[in-house]
Structure 1
C-alpha cells in the first residue's frame, strides 16, 4: 500500500480521536463555544434594535457573523496555536522522525480542526435558531448554501492557520495575532452591517476572507430582503465563492512551502531551547 495513503489513514484516525476527546472534555468544549456563547448573549440583549432602514432585528442579523467568527477562531487560530504547542513539547519532532509522520500529523490536525469547527458551529446554531426570530433555516437552498460556504471557508482559513503556526516560535506569538484579528472582526460585519461604515473601511474588510465567510453565511440564513443592507445591495454569492476560492488557492500553495521549511528547522536542540525559554518564563 502507498506509504502516504497509510499515513493519511493514520491522520484520519488521529483526527477522529482528537475530536472525540475535545467533545468529551468540558474544558475543550468550553473553549470551542466560548466566543459564540458570549456573542449570542450580547446579540440577544440587543434583539430589540433593528438593522438601519429595516424592521429586522439587529440581533438576528448578527447571528451568521457570530457563527462565522466561531469558524475563524476554531480553525485558523486554533490550528496555529496547536502547531506552536506541538513544536514546544516535541510532538512535531517525533512526527518528523517517523516515516511519513508529517503527512499523518498534518492530516490529523487539519481534519480535526475542521471537524471541531463544524461541530462548534452546529452546536451554537441550535440555540440560535430558537432564540432569534427571522432566521431562514427551513429551505433546502439555505442548507446547501451553508454547506458550500462553510466548506470553502474552511479551505481558505486552515492554510492561514498553518502558516501562522509555522512562523510563530511560541504560543505568545499566536496570541499577538488575535488582536488584529479581533479588530478585523469588528469591521467585517460580524456585529453590524458594514454598509454604514466609511467606504475605505469597507474596502479593507472586503480584502479578507472573514467578511466573505460572514456574508456567505448571512446569504444562507437571512431573508432575501436583508441583502439590501449589504454592500452592493445583494448577497454577491459569486464574489463570495471567488474571493474565498482565491484565498484557498493561495493558502494551499504557500502553506506546504512554509510547513516544509518549519519541519526542516526542527531538531532536538531547538526543542530543548524552547523548553528552557518556557522554564524561564515560568520562573
Structure 2
C-alpha cells in the first residue's frame, strides 16, 4: 500500500480514538463547552437590547458569532496547546521516528479535534434554541449552510493552530497568542454587528477567518432580513467561501512544512531538556 495512504489511514484511526477519549472525559467536555455556555448566558441577560435599526435581539444575533468563537478556541487554540505539550513529553519525537509518522500525527489531530469542535458547536444550539427567539433551526438549507461553513472553517483554523504550536517554544508562550485572539473577538462582529465599528477596523476583521465563520453561521441561523446589519447588506456567501478556502489552502500547505522543520530539530536531549524545564515550573 502507498506509504502516504498508510499514514493517513493511521491518522484517521488515531483521530477516532482521541475523539472517543475526549467525549468520554468530563474534563474535556467541560473545557469544550464552558466558554460558549457562559457566553450564551451573558447574551441571554442582554436579550432586551436590539440590533440598531431592527427589532431583533442582540442576544439572538450573537449566537452564531459565539459558535464561531468556539471553533477558534476549540480548534486553533486547542491544537496549538496540544502540539506544544506533545513536543515536551516526547510524543512528537516518537511520531518522527515512524515512517509517515508526522503526516499521521497531523491527520489524527485534525480529525479528532474536528469531531470535538463540531460537538461543541451543536450542543450549545440546544439551550440556544430554548433561550433565544428568531433562530432558524428547522430549515434544511440552514443546516446545509452550517455544514459547509463549519467544514471550511475547520480547514482554515486547525492547520493554523498546528503552525502556531510548531512555532511556540512552550505552553506558557502560547499566552502571547491569546491577546490577538481576544482582540479579534472584539472586532469581528461576534457580540455586536461589525458595521457599528470604524471602517478600518472592519477591513482588518475581514482579513481573518473568525469574521467569515461568524458571517456564514449568521446567514444560516438568522432571518434573511438581518443581512441588512452586515457589510453591504448581504450575507456574501461567495466571499465567505473564498476567504475561508484561501486560509484553508494556505494552512494545509504550510502546516506539514512547518511540522517537518520543527520535527527535524527534535531529539532525545531536547525533549529531556523541555521535560526538566517543565518540572521546574511553579505549580
TM-score, normalising length: structure 1: 0.97
- For residue 274 of structure 1, report the CA deviation from its aligned partner: 0.7
After TM superposition, the structure 1 = structure 2 runs for residues 156-171 of structure 1, keeping only pairs within 5 Å, are 156-171=156-171
Q: Deviations over 1:118-150 (max 9, x none)?
A: 011111112111211100122111111111111
Aligned counterparts of 1:204 and 1:6: Cα–Cα separation in 2: 41
CA contact (8 A) 2:63 2:128 kept: yes
- 1:274 alignment partner in structure 2: 274
- For residue 29 of structure 1, report the CA deviation from its aligned partner: 0.5
- For residue 282 of structure 1, report the CA deviation from its aligned partner: 3.3
- For residue 5 of structure 1, report the CA deviation from its aligned partner: 2.0
- 1:134 alignment partner in structure 2: 134
- 2:7 alignment partner in structure 1: 7
Q: Deviations over 1:148-198 (max 9, x none)?
A: 111011111111101000000111122221121011111000000010111
- 2:52 alignment partner in structure 1: 52
RMSD, matched Cα: 1.1
Aligned counterparts of 2:16 and 2:123: Cα–Cα separation in 1: 18
Q: Deviations over 1:8-40 (max 9, x none)?
A: 222111111111111111110110001101110
- 2:41 alignment partner in structure 1: 41
Moved over 4 A (4+): none
Aligned counterparts of 1:211 and 1:100: Cα–Cα separation in 2: 35
Aligned counterparts of 2:265 and 2:212: Cα–Cα separation in 1: 35
Does 1:190 find its partner at 2:201? no
Q: Deviations over 1:66-120 (max 9, x none)?
A: 0000111111000011100000000110111122222221111111111110011
Aligned counterparts of 2:282 and 2:50: Cα–Cα separation in 1: 49
Larger deviation, residues 251-260 vs 225-234: 251-260
Aligned counterparts of 1:98 and 1:144: Cα–Cα separation in 2: 39
- 2:215 alignment partner in structure 1: 215
After TM superposition, the structure 1 = structure 2 runs for residues 113-124 of structure 1, keeping only pairs within 5 Å, are 113-124=113-124
TM-score, normalising length: structure 2: 0.97
Aligned counterparts of 1:199 and 1:30: Cα–Cα separation in 2: 37
Larger deviation, residues 136-145 vs 78-87: 136-145
Aligned counterparts of 1:282 and 1:189: Cα–Cα separation in 2: 38
Aligned counterparts of 2:145 and 2:201: Cα–Cα separation in 1: 27
Aligned counterparts of 1:273 and 1:152: Cα–Cα separation in 2: 38
Aligned counterparts of 1:100 and 1:225: Cα–Cα separation in 2: 50
Structure 2: stretches of 5+ with no match in the other structure: none
Aligned counterparts of 2:33 and 2:174: Cα–Cα separation in 1: 20
After TM superposition, the structure 1 = structure 2 runs for residues 135-154 of structure 1, keeping only pairs within 5 Å, are 135-154=135-154
- For residue 273 of structure 1, report the CA deviation from its aligned partner: 1.2
CA contact (8 A) 2:102 2:260 kept: no
- 2:229 alignment partner in structure 1: 229
Larger deviation, residues 184-193 vs 126-135: 126-135
- 1:155 alignment partner in structure 2: 155
